[in-house]
A = this chain, B = another copy of it.
């Protein structure tokens, strides 16, 4: 029986818990409401009861990894700041889970975990250097350097979403202007689409027939409308791809990766987004890093859960076992 690990991907609304093999294969999974307002201790209880149900059926995990949106202190095993999980900052997940389960526990930023998960499950750990962008409501990023997750000095590395692609430009949820997230995070994409649809309602008829009204617009409507030939939806994806291309260009120039991964729900709009990025990379005057960096979509919705689990198997998580 292969070595198994537990992955927990905590979102503001839902949490996914899974049993993961070392290869990255997800064997079992369970979805919970996060019930963030009940606080982190109650959340830990609920996670532990899911795991105990599994262990009573013979599952023998050797570690547990937790991926959480926000600024995570992976050494302490806590969250410094997480706008989606109010009141969770400072809670010591490593200690709470480690004591209850007697397992090594890794706590990590969710985008870092997802990029690491896709690196193992999809890329089979083969490339040396990988950068990834996770497209969701926000926009996260992660780096694998020499086959290991690069966390940086404070665990904050890979904050691609707040790199500037148009200084002084669109307002970002962080309060600054011109961040990549303000253009290629879900809310930035929807803002642009609404603006275009209001300016040119005649070119957004298909889009409007799909979403009903602009207030109900979701990225998936834009993907469907683009496929149906809606000009506003197509323009939205092209512009989004162009802004994402600038952010990824900077990421590539700094890290010089073998692979650039694009993950997350919005990545289902893959063909609409990838084309402007490919075109942008192809016309870079400084060729070598761009001809090397292979663009890849990671459509695995479990990457965050898988990556969190696998991080508990990495040497640093095992070294400081509770």
Interface size band for A:
35 or more
Is A154 a contact of B286 with CB atoms below 8 Å? no
Interface check A62, CB cutoff 8 A: no
Is B288 a contact of A256 with CB atoms below 8 Å? no
Compute how far the CA of A153 lies from the CA of B128 in the bound complex, rounded to whole angstroms. Answer: 7
On whether A153 and B257 interact (CB within 8 A), knowing A284-B176, A286-B162, A288-B71, the answer reads yes
Interface-facing stretch out of A32-40, A203-211, A220-228, A244-252:
A244-252
| Nearest-CB residue, chain B, relative to A284 | B176
| Nearest-CB residue, chain B, relative to A258 | B153
On whether A254 and B163 interact (CB within 8 A), knowing A174-B286, A176-B285, the answer reads yes
- Kindly supply a per-residue 1/0 record for chain A positions 13-25, scoring 1 wherever the CB is within 8 Å of any chain B CB and 0 otherwise: 0000000000000
A282-296 with Cβ < 8 A to chain B: 284-286, 288-289, 292-293
DSSP majority for the A interface?
loop
Interface-facing stretch out of A114-122, A164-172, A184-192:
A164-172
A131-176 with Cβ < 8 A to chain B: 141, 143, 145, 150-160, 162-167, 174-176
Interface check A255, CB cutoff 8 A: yes
On whether A154 and B292 interact (CB within 8 A), knowing A165-B164, A176-B285, A285-B174, the answer reads yes
Is B254 a contact of A254 with CB atoms below 8 Å? yes
Q: Which of B127, B155, B246 contacts A164 (CB 8 A)?
A: B246
